[in-house]
Amino acid sequence: MASLRDIKSRITSTKKTKQITKAMEMVSAAKLNRAQSKATAFFPYTEKIREVVSSIASGNEDSEEGISHPMLEARDEVKKTAYIVITSDRGLCGAYNSSLLRHTYKTINERHQSPEEYGLIVIGRVGRDFFKKRGMPIYQEIVGLQDQPEYGEIKNIASTTVQMFVDGIFDEIYLHYNHFVSVISQKVTESKLLPLNEFGAEAGAEGDSKKAAMEYIYEPDPKSILENLLPHYAESLIYGALLDAKASEFGARMTAMQSATNNATDRIDELTLVYNRARQAAITQEINEIVGGAAALE
């Protein structure tokens, strides 16, 4: 059985751990609020670009010449697929990283027979280390992003990724990240980034009502606008997913630290009970020895 000093030391160290986890929980809660606000504020911007692009794409069907763009057209043969995987730079956030990486790893193994069939663009140190350890092809990586990332921080990697699709290096690109549902729930999500061929389906489903609701005047012309807007739209989708993933990360970390704090409290209570029992037993033993010694002197 551990000595009273050992038990007391364990209680002290557990209390210090509890202070740390409680502080991290409060910090994560503050960061979560800012991340949610930023993601919510960015959403209307992405939706408006989507609306304009969809309007141009749906208008193509009515034009005699038609306006085509590589980013809107599905390739006849998909030779190489890219996966943009968004993880965190640090741990202590529960299953936030492990569930995402497990899903991505399983998806790649099911869809592809060799590393020549896919490539990875990784955001976050945890994901980068995971894929490097397994020898998987990483085309681009970025680590050390701030907690509230700015668009300029991922502009280069986003634009380069989009350009690789345009150049034919990749035939399709998927986004893998954790979508924020609530503080205690994050959903592993896969969304197709490129090609952006869903606009054709939208036009068929909503075409007449959208045209009646919103008419745009394009200057200089729809084709020029589409060529400039489509890459920017794809980049904004990557940035929007990053903001969503950051909110999920702080929610997961806040929940994990809250759970750790509660576990530390329970452990302190258990150790305190053990300490009191051991102390009581020691006092009882000392009393018995004193009584025994007094009886021996009589």
Catalytic residues: 93
Q: Looking up tokens 């529960």, which residue turns up?
A: 94
Comparing C-alpha atoms, which of 240, 56, 14 is closest to residue 149? Answer: 240
Q: What is the rounded CA–CA span in Å between residue 93 and residue 279?
A: 38
Residue 47's Cβ-count burial label (10 Å; 0-12, 13-18, 19+) is exposed
Q: What is the rounded CA–CA span in Å between residue 171 and residue 161?
A: 11
| DSSP string computed for 189-221 | EEEEEES-THHHHHHHHHHHHHHHH-----SS-
Q: Is the peptide bond before 195 cis (omega within 30 degrees of 0)?
A: yes
Produce one character per residue of 121-140: b if its CB has 16 or more CB atoms within 10 Å, e if not: bbbbbbbbebbeeeebeebb
Cα torsion 123, 177, 201, 196 to 10°: value is 0
Q: Is the peptide bond before 220 cis (omega within 30 degrees of 0)?
A: yes
